[in-house]
Amino acid sequence: MARYRQIAADGGWTPIPEGPPLKLGVSDPRVAALRARLAVEDPEAPAAGDPAFDMALHQAVQRAQRRFGFEPDGVVGPATLRMLNQPVGQRVLQTIANLERWRWMPREMPPTRVQVNSGAAIVTLFKDDRPVLSMKAVSGKPGDETPMLSSAMHSVVINPPWNVPTRIANEELWPKERASPGYLARNGFRVITNDDGSKRLQQSSEQSALGRYKFDFDNPFAVYLHDTPTKATFERFSRQASHGCVRVEKPRELAEALLAGDPKWTPEQIAATLDAGKTVRARLPQQVPVFILYWTAFAGADGQMHFRTDPYDWDRELLQRMGVLAKPKPKTDVA
Residue 280 · residue 156 · CB < 8 Å: no
pTM of the model: 0.84
pLDDT tens profile 168-189: 888 888 898 889 998 888 887 7
Q: Name 230's Cβ contacts closer than 8 Å, sequence gap at least 6.
A: 209, 247
**Mean pLDDT, residues 65-81 taken together:** 95
Is 110-157+210-335 the same fold as 1-85? no
Among 78-82, 92-96, 117-121, 181-185, the range scoring the smallest mean pLDDT is: 181-185
Strand partners, 251: none
Whether the pLDDT of residue 100 is over 90: the answer is yes
Judge whether 226 counts as a catalytic residue.
Answer: yes
**Mean pLDDT, residues 127-154 taken together:** 96
- Domain 110-157+210-335, CATH: 2.40.440.10
Q: How many CA atoms lie within 13 A of 156 on its CB side?
A: 25
Residue 152 · residue 216 · CB < 8 Å: no
Options 58, 154, 243, 245, the catalytic residue: 245
Question: Is CATH 1.10.101.10 the right assignment for the domain spanning 1-85?
Answer: yes
Options 58, 154, 226, 306, the catalytic residue: 226
| Domain boundaries along the sequence of the chain | 1-85, 110-157+210-335, 162-203
Residue 76 · residue 61 · CB < 8 Å: yes
